[in-house]
Every structure is written in structure tokens, then in C-alpha cells.
Amino acid sequence: MYLIVVYHIVVHCVVGQMYGSVYSRPQMFSELYLIQALMPLGMMANDIFIMISGYFLVEKGKDIKLGNVAKKLMIQLGAAALFLTFGSLLFFFVSHRFDYIFARLIDIRYFNDDVWFVGYYFAVIVVAALFLNKRLNEMEQKPYTALLLALLAFTSFMWSGGVLNSLAQELRTLAGGVFLYALGGYIKRFDPFAKIRGWVLAVLPLLVLGINLLSFFNNIQTELKNYDIYYNIQVESGAEINSFHQSVIGFANYNLIVIVLAVTVFELFRRLKMPNSKVINFIGGGTFMIYILHDNVLWYDIWGSYPWMDILSTSLPVFCLQLLKWSVIVFAVCLLGYVVYRLLALLCVKCKGLVLRE
């Protein structure tokens, strides 16, 4: 969840400030490798969320209570929508009075029109409860492996993935989620990575990171060459010369780099021998609320008030410290929102006699 917060700050604010900044010049900037290194983190963490669900839920078969899952998701999303509706209004009055940054306000439509991950996650759980769990539990390891490979191939390949999206918008994303869910159950049941040494799992993400950064280098070199060609054409024709747009590479949840990172990080943490911790359990219980409270235009505008590009071009260590500070603050504030939600839930239980007859 923390990685998702960091990712959202980077992708929604830091990257957006690249245009028109010092980084609009047609050259390579070494500090931008850090931004590219952070780009897979959000989707990697999303994939881990789905794998965790499959790890614990595949073995339940048809025992997943869809009504309970839907109720929990809707109640928390509804509470978050109310928190943000009133909270953004309060922030507006405070910031307006003291001439702080203006941030866009959020209204109750947030419940239906924002936070894509909620519907994606629930769709995967519906597929699992209706038929997938039963089918997976009936499979031996060999056909289960073949199914996983087929799902991975179908969502990974451009043409077959395009067929899925042509049938229904974002169907490819849903198929990727079904693969990750099934993979989580596969790991729980068969422990396929048991013979792989820990150092291999630790080194593999570093190799993937290297491929990520090499891809970034190749991409920028191509863009620099294209800009040089079109620049000369514009000069010769007397047309207006457009500024150079630095870019970073984004990733989908079904991207191979993201999947390899998710699987290796999942397996590394799965091997940790930890005692039961009420603190960790409580924070873990609040991750969904943290997700839906932080990923919205209110926070985007607040983050965007900070001069990220100026700091990055001046001092990379200071930039890293500021990114760490902002992400910790956001995580803590949204976790506090979860605490308020839990307290309100307890209050509602205590006061139910006021609205319900015996």
C-alpha cells in the first residue's frame, strides 16, 4: 500500500511537472532514471493485492460470501466518499482563507465514478466465487500449470490481449487479475518456488530493474532522434518549433516486468517467519481505506503544489527525502481516516437501537 502511495505521487504529480520544466530539453538526464525505477511499483503492488486474495481464497471453493464482500467494499467506499466530500470542503475553506493552494473538491459521485481498483478487485472475486475456485481446486498441478501459462500468454500477447479489450473495455485487465488470483492459489497449494534459493529471489528484482532502466534509455534515445528529425523539418519549413517532451515508461498490471516483480516480492515476504502482530494486522485491515482515500484529485492538487522538478534538478537526495516525507504523511493521514471509520462503525453498532426496533 505504501508503494502505491509513492507511485501515485510520482505518476500524477512528479511526471506531470516534467513538461515545461528544465527537463523539456532534448537530452538525457541521469536523475530521471529514479523516476523510471519507481514506475512499476504501483501496478506491482496491485498485483500483490490480488495474489494475496488468491492465496487465501482459492481453497475456500464456493464458500466465498459475495454478499459480505460486496457489503464491506460498499460501506468503506461510501464512508470514504463522505469523508472526502466533507474533508475537501473543509480544506477548501481553510486553504482559501489563508491563500494556500486550491485543490479540487470532491462530491458524493466519488462512490460511483472513481477508484478503479474496487470494481476490478470485486470482479475478480465474483469470477472466483461463481466458478473459478471450484475448477481450480479440482485441478492437479499439471493442468493447473497449463491454465496459468495459457492465461499469462493470452493476456501478455498484444493481439490476443487486444481481442479481449475489443470484446469489452478493460477485459484484458480483468483476465490479468484472474491469472494473478489463480497464481496466488497455486503458490499456496503447490509451493512451486520452494527450491529456489533466497538470494536468487533477491537478485531477480534488481535484474528486472536493470531491464526497466535500459528500456527507458532506449525509449529516450528514440525520442531524441525523432525530435532531431522533426526539429530540422520545422526549421526548414519555418514552422513553430515544439518543445521536447521527456517521458517515462508506464506499465499495465499484466506487463511481464510487473508480474515478475510481484511474484518475487510476494515470495520473499511469504518466506518471512513472523509472529502474529495486532499492529500489523490493524494496518493491514486499513489498506483498502488508505487506497480509496488517497487516490483522487484532492490529493493530486495538494501534491502538485510542491515544486518536485525544481527539487529533483537541484538535489536528488533532497528529492528522495521529500518523496519519503510526503508519502509517509499521506499514508498516516489516510490510516487515521480508517481509525475514524472504525470508531464510527462501533458507534453505529452501539446506537442501532435508536433506528431499529427490537
Mean pLDDT calculated for residue range 267-294: 93
| For the chain, percent of residues with pLDDT exceeding 70 | 96
Rounded to an integer, what distance in angstroms lies between the CA atom of residue 278 and that of residue 109? 34
Q: At 51, which amino acid appears?
A: M
Chain-wide mean pLDDT for the chain? Answer: 92
pLDDT surpasses 80 at 46 = yes
pLDDT tens track for 250-277: 999 999 999 999 999 999 999 998 889 9
Rounded to an integer, what distance in angstroms lies between the CA atom of residue 111 and that of residue 82? 9
The CA R_g of the chain, rounded to the nearest whole Å, is 23
Structural domain span for residue 231: 2-354
Closest among 335, 323, 320, 308 to 1, alpha carbons compared: 335
Mean pLDDT calculated for residue range 166-179: 95
pLDDT tens track for 223-255: 998 888 776 666 656 666 677 888 899 999 999
- Beta strand ranges found along the chain (DSSP E): none
Rounded to an integer, what distance in angstroms lies between the CA atom of residue 48 and that of residue 39? 16
Q: Which residues of 67-82 are buried (b: 16+ CB within 10 A; e: fewer)?
A: eebeeebeebbebbbe
Helix, strand, coil percentages in the chain from 3-state DSSP, rounded to 5: 80, 0, 20
Grid coordinates representing 103 are 485543490
Number of domains in the chain: 1
Closest among 315, 249, 282, 295 to 6, alpha carbons compared: 295
Q: What is the pTM of this model?
A: 0.92
